[in-house]
Amino acid sequence: MYKLVFHVIGFGLLALQISAIPTHSQNDILKNRESLSTLSAASSSTAVAKIQLGKLAEIALGVTNENIIHKTAASKHQKCTKDKLRVRRNWRSFSVPQRKKYINSVLCLQGKPARTPAHLAPGAKTRYDDYVATHINQTLGIHFTGTFLAWHRYFIYEFEQALRNECGYVGDYPYWDWGADADAMEKSPVFDGTDTSMSGNGAYIPNEADIILSLGDYAPVILPPGSGGGCVTSGPFKNYKLHLGPAALSLPGGNMSIAPNPLNYNPRCLKRDLTSALLQSYANYTSIVSLILNNQDVWDFEMVMQGVPGSGAIGVHGGGHYSMGGDPGRDVYVSPGDPAFWLHHGMIDRVWWIWQNLDLERRQNAISGTGTFLNEPPSANTTLETLVDIGYANGGPIAMKELMSTTAGPFCYVYV
């Protein structure tokens, strides 16, 4: 499970109670479906695109609610019922006490001992590190593969379960709305450096060079530096230490930092280089709505999300990751080391959930891709029977067919 093979790659080229869940009457559902027919393209105005995204999310919520009611009526064995639904919400909608409870649960996990055996990952010292080690180990099998979307859905769900079962968290799972922060990440409630954020920017390093992402024979992607660059100086995670990596950390000027064994112990500060320009280019509201509306096939959807190699784009996935910058924000393998990772991938899952529910019959179980990064080396196609295993992080092996719906298998949640 922990045999590592590394390639130099980049991201873009590589979680209210039931009473607060909006309800939808049959008329609401019909109106939403009618409105979908008018959403043929993303608006070039990000303000209008924001409204469009909200409408698409309303449609997805209506379809999900309708589907749960239908399934519950059809089978007394349905595990996910409306009274059991959890809600995942925008971090901006969390109250101060709610934010602090979530943050404290993450800090709790960072203070508990690891489960990963030391001989497999000597650098995994905490329960939080178990997740980082798993992601490092499996990166080449979970990006640009058939499992990309479902693997990360399961990964963040099991992280949420650890927060709840091991650290007593009882709140909602958060997501980071990229589009809302495209103009100024430093002012985002996710990154503003207050004690209710995921900590702030890194100390400013002047005259940083561009970041150059390379992949094989494709033309490199040039990314601008941000407004920080050094160790995080504020917020609840300013004293947090990374223990693992780097594995493929892109540095200013085109260089890369790669440890001989990224699973070894290498304590260092969390660095950030917040780069609003990357959200403006790749994860603004127009980009998000375009991703959802313009890609009918799941392979196209997930490829555009991650950044089609050779296109010069890094997609909303890469845009979110690289906009954090620093270490591990620019390291594909070690990225869960940044506490904002979990909010970022909450948004990734939300976008997939919306996309699925716009055409549930065709998209619920849609899978495309193999088990290796861009099918190198060639491997078998991913199917509904393919097993996903996140190692010592949490949970156990589970078939892809159990991960395709947010209201089936182990899941019972919606996004608002």
For residue 267, pLDDT over 60 is answered with yes
- Per-residue pLDDT at 188: 98
Q: What is the mean pLDDT of residues 184-189?
A: 98
Q: What is the mean pLDDT of residues 54-74?
A: 89
Contacts of 290 (CB under 8 A, 6+ apart): 41, 42
- Per-residue pLDDT at 13: 52
Q: Residue 33 — very low, low, confident or very high, per pLDDT cuts 50/70/90?
A: low
pLDDT, tens only, 191-208: 999 999 999 999 999 999
For residue 19, pLDDT over 90 is answered with no
More confident site: 71 or 113: 113
CB 353 within 8 A of CB 60: yes
Write b or e for each residue in 277-314: b if 16 or more Cβ atoms lie within 10 A of its Cβ, otherwise e: bbbbbbbbbbbbbbbbbebeebeebbbbbbbbbeeebb
- Per-residue pLDDT at 405: 98
**Cross-strand bridge partners of residue 204:** 229
Name the region of 199 (left: φ>0; alpha: ψ -120 to 50; beta: rest): left
Question: Which amino acid would we find at residue 246?
Answer: P
- Per-residue pLDDT at 216: 87
- Per-residue pLDDT at 34: 53
d(CA 262, CA 327): 13
HSE-up of 392 (CA within 13 Å, CB side)? Answer: 21
Return the closest-CA partner of residue 145 out of 353, 322, 361, 386: 386
Percentage of the chain exceeding pLDDT 90: 87
HSE-up of 393 (CA within 13 Å, CB side)? Answer: 29
- Per-residue pLDDT at 70: 78
HSE-up of 20 (CA within 13 Å, CB side)? Answer: 13
Residues comprising the chain, all counted: 416
For residue 326, pLDDT over 70 is answered with yes
d(CA 311, CA 396): 37
For residue 8, pLDDT over 50 is answered with no
- Per-residue pLDDT at 294: 97
Least confident piece of the model among 20-24, 290-294, 318-322: 20-24
CB 243 within 8 A of CB 203: no
pLDDT, tens only, 224-240: 999 999 999 999 999 99
- Per-residue pLDDT at 12: 52
Distances in Å between the alpha carbon of 216 and those of 222, 308, 375?
A: 15, 13, 14
Q: Residue 37 — very low, low, confident or very high, per pLDDT cuts 50/70/90?
A: low
- Packing angle, helices 26-36 and 46-74, rounded to 10: 140
- Per-residue pLDDT at 40: 83
Bond before 267 cis per omega within 30 degrees: no
Percentage of the chain exceeding pLDDT 70: 90
Distances in Å between the alpha carbon of 30 and those of 36, 91, 348, 363, 375?
A: 10, 30, 27, 20, 41
Instruction: Give the chain's mean pLDDT.
Output: 92
Distances in Å between the alpha carbon of 212 and those of 108, 266, 271, 403, 404?
A: 36, 25, 18, 35, 35
d(CA 246, CA 330): 10
Q: What is the mean pLDDT of residues 296-319?
A: 97
- Per-residue pLDDT at 351: 98
SS (H, E, C) 96-152: HHHHHHHHHHHHHHCCCECCCCCCCCCCCCEHHHHHHHHHHHHHHHCCCCCCHHHHH
- Pairing relation of β-strands 86-90 and 211-213? unpaired
> How many beta carbons lie within 10 A of that of residue 372, not counting itself?
18
For residue 104, pLDDT over 60 is answered with yes
